[in-house]
A = this chain, B = another copy of it.
Amino acid sequence: MTNKKRLAVDMDEVIADSIARFQEWYGRDFQLELSRESLRGRPAADAVAPEHQAALREYPNAEGFFRDLPIIADSQEVLFELSKKYELFIATAAMEFPNSFVDKYNWLQQHFPFIHWRNFVFCGDKSILNADFLIDDNAYNFDGFHGEGLLFDAPHNAHETRYRRVHSWREVGEILL
């Protein structure tokens, strides 16, 4: 037991750059570019031509989608500092994509070795989390969450105004450290 406050952190678009994988696979399959600007205010599948949408919706279910994702800038350094001050949990809605479990687990072990696997949570509904803060790019994950939500800036959530927005890990560090 500890008196530290507890911080829960999402993975995709918060510490893992899954947009990069959408861009990579969209280019591979359709020889087209998916710009971050085109993703403003909508999920990736809604940003492409109607005849490509079904393919994009399936990408996260495909083998390897979550493997070797790039790391969001400064997340390692800032989370390492935060791990000294907070009880740090990684909480990802992995249940939506059962093929992602092992890739997500391995990715965390590789890139965030200072976070013990005891503090990984693969869930669906994040209202199950008992934490003081949740950093997440999806505002719906703050529904029913009893702590304070910090909305991590991402193209798809550009129009969300209900929660405090953080634009980078440097900014998270300034707020929470």
Contacts and interface: CB of A to CB of B under 8 A. Distances in A.
A118 B125 contact: yes
Main secondary structure of the interface of A (DSSP, over half): mixed
A129 interface: yes
Interface string A105-134: 110000000001111111111011111000
Copies, count: 2
Nearest to A106: B98
A95 B117 contact: yes
A109 B78 CA distance: 38
A104 to B, nearest CB: 9
Interface of A: 1, 6, 8, 89, 91, 94-96, 98, 101-102, 105-106, 116-125, 127-131, 143-144, 146
